[in-house]
Amino acid sequence: MNATLVACLAGASVAQAQTGSQPGVPTTSTEGEVLSLEAALSQGGAASPSIAASTAGVQAVTAARTIAGLRPNPEVQLQVENLAGSGQYRGFRSAESSVGIALPLELGGKRSARLALANARLTRAEIQTAIAVADLRLRITQLYVEAAAAERRTEVLSEQSAIAANALRIASERVRAGAASPIEQQRADVLRINAQVAADSAGRQAQAARLNLAALIGRPITGLLDRAWFDQVASFYGPAQPVDVEETLAFAAATADVRAADAQVRLARASRIPNITISAGARRLAETNDTAAVVGVSVPIPIFNNGRAFVSQSQAEQTQAQALRSLVALDTRQDIARAQTEVANAAATARATGGPGLAAAAEAARIARIGYSQGKFDQIALLDAERTLSQTRQAYVDALAAYHDAVARLQRLTTPATLANGEARQ
């Protein structure tokens, strides 16, 4: 396996953690070890079935390359004539035996053509390993984002549940004081129950997400995830930067398929040239008990299979591979442009939702709580402010998750394919 390629991908940079907190978002003390995304990525490939499968694929193709370079084995020939007949040829009295060796000779450059095809397939297998590494990084990142988002939603909904419980307490006091109708207490109790159910559900979803991430990286997660990283959003996204599609993994894989198809055409053309077999040996003559040399040459006659169909098939597959490479270049360019737009839009949404929008909702809810407890606002105003704050907080978490997911997908699309030795194989 090309170690340079895998090391380059496995050591790809991860966004650094942001130390600041967003306004209006509840803070939680971190107990135990915090699992960063970088640590999760470094541990994810230790026991990954996809990496093991791609590595075994490289080993298989490497063995196939060794086989492709082997020459045909020689043959030992033994021939006995003039035996078990009639008259003087009865039994073994007149038997004549020949012992020799036959050596097939490949013509037309078949061995070099096989090696070229094996090298092309080995390069393709190495690129497939790089693709497996990139796909695994994307999967780990997405699960990490999912778990971090679920963790944050649990915090938001747990705080909303505590707020709903406090609202129920205030409503009960107002009812006992005769300042409010009992229906306010009933309404507050229903909201408290619903908030508690939502918080419990979010907690179970967060636990499931953590278990999925732990299963993928092969270690239990005992502490919190990196909250500072999850809160980080790029401060500026200008015009989309052009990306060289020919440097991406997808295009490299398609190019490797084209080169394998080219090598297959070369092998098909070389296979049309018949091989010859040269044999040499010694024969014992029964009548005189003398020996004589025997030399032979055999050449197949390409009557039924002259190799044209194989050449036609290989050329059609070559054309198909070239067309698919053009299609990959077009699709990759469009996917990158779409991903760049999604990253920019998600970043703008996250900054807007988590900035002035969240601060305004938090301040409105704070004023509504004070006013309701002092009898200045009715319960409808309080509930509306609390609902707006909860929705804004959850929207902020969703925007952060969408942003990090879009960044991860863009990084996967633009992962470079750098083969240190692939171009040198001939």
Same domain, 345 and 251: yes
Same domain, 125 and 12: yes
Same domain, 285 and 379: no
Same domain, 118 and 177: yes
Higher pLDDT, 402 or 33: 402
Domains identified in the chain, total number: 2
Query: If you search the block for the tokens 């078949």, which residue do you land on?
Result: 110
6-13 LR contacts (CB < 8 Å, sep 24+): 6/129, 6/130, 6/133, 8/416, 8/418, 9/130, 9/133, 9/134, 9/137, 9/415, 10/41, 10/42, 10/45, 10/133, 10/137, 12/137, 12/411, 12/415
Same domain, 185 and 204: yes
Same domain, 364 and 324: yes
Query: If you search the block for the tokens 């070229």, which residue do you land on?
Result: 116
pLDDT at 93: 65
Which domain-ending residue is among 285, 306, 327? 306
pLDDT at 89: 62
**Average pLDDT of the chain to the nearest whole number:** 82
Which domain-ending residue is among 257, 283, 306? 306
Asked which of 15-19, 84-88, 89-93, 325-329 is least confident by mean pLDDT, the reply is 15-19
Is pLDDT at 422 greater than 60 in this prediction?
Answer: no
Same domain, 287 and 390: no
Is pLDDT at 33 greater than 60 in this prediction?
Answer: yes
Q: What residues does 99 pair with on adjacent strands?
A: 78, 282
Same domain, 139 and 180: yes
Domain span at 89 = 73-105+273-306
Same domain, 15 and 63: yes
Give rounded-to-5 percent helix, strand, coil for the chain.
Answer: 65, 10, 25
Is pLDDT at 163 greater than 70 in this prediction?
Answer: yes
pLDDT at 238: 53
Asked which of 42-56, 91-105, 232-246 is least confident by mean pLDDT, the reply is 232-246
Asked which of 10-19, 178-187, 412-421 is least confident by mean pLDDT, the reply is 10-19
pLDDT-derived band at 308 (thresholds 50, 70, 90) equals: very high
Is pLDDT at 254 greater than 90 in this prediction?
Answer: yes
Same domain, 293 and 399: no
Is pLDDT at 12 greater than 60 in this prediction?
Answer: no
Interval 337-360 mean pLDDT? 87
Question: Which pTM does this prediction carry?
Answer: 0.75
CATH number at residue 293: 2.20.200
Interval 87-104 mean pLDDT? 78
pLDDT-derived band at 388 (thresholds 50, 70, 90) equals: confident
pLDDT at 161: 83
Same domain, 265 and 213: yes
Same domain, 144 and 30: yes
Evaluate whether 231 touches 401 at the Cβ level (below 8 Å). Answer: no
pLDDT at 377: 73
CATH number at residue 385: 1.20.1600.10
pLDDT per position as a tens digit, 173-232: 767 877 667 887 888 788 889 888 988 888 898 889 999 898 888 888 888 899 889 988
Which domain-ending residue is among 262, 284, 306? 306
